[in-house]
Structure 1
Amino acid sequence: MSELISTARDLSAAGWTEAYTRSVMDTFGPPQRILVRGEGAYVWDAEGKRYLDLLAGIAVNVLGHAHPTLTAAVSAQLGTLGHVSNFFGTPTQITLAERLLQLAGAPEGSKVFFTNSGTEANEAAFKMTRRTGRTRVLALEGGFHGRTMGALALTHKPAYREPFEPLPGGVEHLPFGDTDALEAAFSPDAVAERGEVAALVVEPVQGEAGVRALPPGYLALGRRLTSAAGALLVLDEVQTGMGRTGAWFAFQQPEIGGGVVPDVVTLAKGLGGGFPVGAVVALGERAATLLGRGQHGTTFGGNPVAAAAGLATIGVIERDRLLARAPEVGKVLRQAIMAGGNPLVRGVRGHGLLLAVELARPVAPQVAAAALDAGIIVNAVAPDAVRLAPPLVLTADQALDAARFFAGVTVPENPEEA
């Protein structure tokens, strides 16, 4: 069997990087490291160095790496039934849909559409907004919803959008967290000028914008306005879902959602614990029936292996009390980082185990590079913020190890001194 594994080559890290440069499209830049294996909250590179993974594939590996329950479930399902077309159903697909509806507290008539990724889930949700008969969609500045054309239309960042314009029309980006702007978008004057609103699409916590939570009351206001206007409230929980904030969905957190029930929730990332799977959860019969037969589809979405991964991930989160663990360990991480007293660290924001270390200067890339050299993986998500989205299995001791790095990290005032 070993002769069939083409990755079993005796290459140095530099050799692998050179091979990457020759064979992989240059959309991400050169890899920072060549990672070869993982276990729990740790990964190892091609030179044998160990790293504490505080990024988890950007909030994906909620069970860490090589979790025995997840790997056993995927292996067992692949050895039984790996893929069928969506002309057929499978027990794993059906059971995962039922579980997601249960976890969301879905009302009667709710349904699930499975995808392969977050951007595909948001693409499907965007198509659902068109089925309302309206074309005007509200999104927020700083929002990130994916890279396919529809999801990109919802995404705000000009550097992502401009190379691919014209994008699907009708999307208006409102200032982040601005309740006056939100109310004005639904006003009679706005409706007379630009038409009725089809949907409001938001992330409860903006991940790519620097882990920014919507202010208290914003989602509740959005729910009142969309309900009164007959519009959809769509929550992108690709990054915040599946226990990341300490609840199955961020909208279930009182300080975030305020008791709102959205019409549509999109999921991916943590849903499969590292295996590609996404979902659109339509809450209520109206949202669940917007896409009819033949109006949308996918080849791999909801395949038996992906569904088995999702069920295993949910099972471990429940069995190991990871919903409670996320805020507990997140609190340890927050407090320890602040207790370090580093003047470069201004604060820590976020919920559960989706956090950002706020920096006193715009040196996040330098801090992330220093962390990598020290054996810790983080992400420079904004010029002055470093994102932490570790596995939900992170221990308090591992959190304290990370905090020690932030207590001691320094970056020269003058870049030429670096």
Structure 2
Amino acid sequence: MTDQHPVSRETFDEVMAPNYAPAAMIPVRGEGSRVWDQDGREYIDLAGGIAVNCLGHCHPVLTEALQQQGNQLWHLSNVYTNEPALKLAQQLVDATFAEKVFFANSGAEANEAALKLARRFALENFGEDKDQIISFKDGFHGRTFFTVTVGGQTAYSDGFGPKPGAIEHGVFNDLSSLQALISDRTCAVMVEPLQGEGGVIPATAEFINGVRALCNKHNALLIFDEVQTGVGRTGDLYAYMGTDVVPDILTTAKSLGGGFPIAAMLTTTKIASSLKVGTHGSTYGGNPLACAVASAVLSEVNNETTLSGVAQREQWFRDALEAINQKHHVFAEVRGQGLLLGAVLSEQYQGRARDFLVAAVAEGVMMLVAGANVIRFAPALNIEKADIDEAFARIERAVAAVVNG
């Protein structure tokens, strides 16, 4: 290639599977909430790698943790344990309801582990007829065949042959729909406390309390998928802490590693006892590099300064979106919690979320969508006020460009 860059966006089309359609520019460097592409052009990151880069790009505490561990120990088989994994597990147990931890590499893997555990626990304690799993329409739980089937978007699960069975879907925030499905045959109910991919929709208190009560009544495990809501995203360390409900199993990934792939499934000693030696595993799960970084992330996020700063930043975002809306009337509402926010497009702009996304990139802002009608924001929890102000000055220009055709 004679291009000044050894690889380009064209390279993607030549060598990568076609399941993504990435932007024309390629980011090469990041610092805090700013990112630069191959041409040195600067962007403000309000996407956070889909709620992953919770402390921004190249946070000094995280890069130091990675470098330090990188000079000590990279990987072991699960025939051995390691210090970073034990330290991180202890931090998670100390900070949550959990007594036991299982490490994996992604949210899908953590959810896969949670679902397998729920089935195994039911089998051992109640017999083989208790196998039904209930989740909710428009929910998202990962891309493995089990988790994508439990997820409530058939567009992601159709077309791959016969699906895993005994999986039903209720309607999110509609308790009667769960009541109609749940019985003593139900082994688990899996729910996001705030639906992310489904449009950034928080569970109502009535709904989530009712789900817990129904699970108790039918001896079903309540699984909270906190892959996107966890590690400070909502202003609590985990979203369940802002409710009256404690789940039986919780999954966490995304922000847990601050950009390094890691996930965890958290549960009680009683439930975890069903994962006997050999019943489940992960080659990379509990990797020392990942655990060292995640340990540093937890230390940085799980404190009053970071967590209380989330609510302040949420207000800045809401104010900025309101100011744009006063001028252009493109949003019907802004929903979500903390720094997982969804700006829902008004009637006139239905189906055009991607147009706003593309216009924002052209102005130097990275955003997300959650379906065709919602613009999603999931920035770093420590994003600076100056970055927010500049980002929304650019977004205003992007919105104006779409509005004016």
* TM-score where L is the length of structure 1: 0.90
Equivalent pair of 1:137/1:198 in contact (CA under 8 Å): yes
Distance 1:269 1:390 in 2: 12
Provide the residue aligned with 2:306 in structure 1. 322
Provide the residue aligned with 1:410 in structure 2. 400
Provide the residue aligned with 2:88 in structure 1. 96
Equivalent pair of 2:237/2:302 in contact (CA under 8 Å): no
Distance apart, 1:205 and its partner CA: 0.7
Question: Deviation string for 1:206-251 (max 9, x for gaps)?
Answer: 1101111112221111111111211100000000000000011011
1:263 aligns with 2:263: no
Equivalent pair of 2:232/2:302 in contact (CA under 8 Å): no
Q: Aligned in 2, Cα 1:10/1:39: closer, same or farther, shift over 3 Å?
A: farther
The one of 330, 333, 354 equivalent to 2:317 is 333
Distance 2:62 2:212 in 1: 36
Distance apart, 1:33 and its partner CA: 2.0
Structure 1 residues not aligned, in runs of 5+: 1-8
Corresponding letter in the other structure for 2:92: L
Distance 1:28 1:45 in 2: 19
Q: Aligned in 2, Cα 1:347/1:402: closer, same or farther, shift over 3 Å?
A: farther
Distance 2:4 2:373 in 1: 34
What is the correspondence of 1:253-402 to structure 2 with a 5 Å cutoff?
Answer: 253=242, 257=243, 259-282=244-267, 284-318=268-302, 321-340=305-324, 341=326, 342-360=328-346, 361-362=349-350, 363-402=352-391
Distance 1:260 1:149 in 2: 29
Tell me the SS of whatever aligns to 1:274.
coil
Distance apart, 1:30 and its partner CA: 4.2
Distance apart, 1:393 and its partner CA: 1.4
Corresponding letter in the other structure for 1:88: Y
Tell me the SS of whatever aligns to 1:217.
helix
1:241 aligns with 2:199: no
Distance 1:401 1:348 in 2: 20
Equivalent pair of 1:13/1:47 in contact (CA under 8 Å): no
1:171 aligns with 2:167: yes
Distance apart, 1:144 and its partner CA: 0.4
Distance 1:150 1:328 in 2: 38
Q: Percent identity of the aligned residues?
A: 37
Provide the residue aligned with 2:61 in structure 1. 69
Provide the residue aligned with 1:154 in structure 2. 150
Distance apart, 1:10 and its partner CA: 7.7
Distance 1:348 1:13 in 2: 40
Distance 2:224 2:5 in 1: 41
Distance 2:315 2:247 in 1: 28
Equivalent pair of 1:39/1:65 in contact (CA under 8 Å): yes
1:251 aligns with 2:240: yes
1:222 aligns with 2:222: no
Question: Deviation string for 1:152-178 (max 9, x for gaps)?
Answer: 111111111102231211110111211
Tell me the SS of whatever aligns to 2:165.
coil
Distance 1:97 1:399 in 2: 34
1:232 aligns with 2:217: no
Distance apart, 1:323 and its partner CA: 1.0
Question: Deviation string for 1:359-412 (max 9, x for gaps)?
Answer: 112221111111110100011222221000001111122222233344441365
Distance 1:391 1:87 in 2: 36
Distance 2:70 2:402 in 1: 51
Distance apart, 1:318 and its partner CA: 3.8
* TM-score where L is the length of structure 2: 0.93
Q: Structure 1 stretch 286-295 or stretch 34-43: which is displaced more?
A: 286-295
Provide the residue aligned with 2:126 in structure 1. none
Distance 2:77 2:55 in 1: 29
What is the correspondence of 1:137-216 to structure 2 with a 5 Å cutoff?
Answer: 137-186=133-182, 191=183, 196-216=185-205
1:130 aligns with 2:119: yes
Distance apart, 1:13 and its partner CA: 6.6
Q: Structure 1 stretch 311-320 or stretch 349-358: which is displaced more?
A: 311-320
Question: Deviation string for 1:20-65 (max 9, x for gaps)?
Answer: 2222111112444211000000111111111000001100000100
Distance 1:32 1:54 in 2: 18
1:41 aligns with 2:39: no
Distance 1:368 1:104 in 2: 36
Equivalent pair of 1:333/1:400 in contact (CA under 8 Å): no
Q: Aligned in 2, Cα 1:143/1:261: closer, same or farther, shift over 3 Å?
A: same
Tell me the SS of whatever aligns to 1:238.
coil
Q: Aligned in 2, Cα 1:11/1:112: closer, same or farther, shift over 3 Å?
A: farther
Provide the residue aligned with 2:127 in structure 1. none
Distance 1:275 1:184 in 2: 41
Distance apart, 1:267 and its partner CA: 0.6
Distance 1:51 1:14 in 2: 22
What is the correspondence of 1:82-93 to structure 2 with a 5 Å cutoff?
Answer: 82-93=74-85
Tell me the SS of whatever aligns to 1:290.
coil
Corresponding letter in the other structure for 2:310: A
Distance 1:80 1:369 in 2: 43
Distance apart, 1:14 and its partner CA: 10
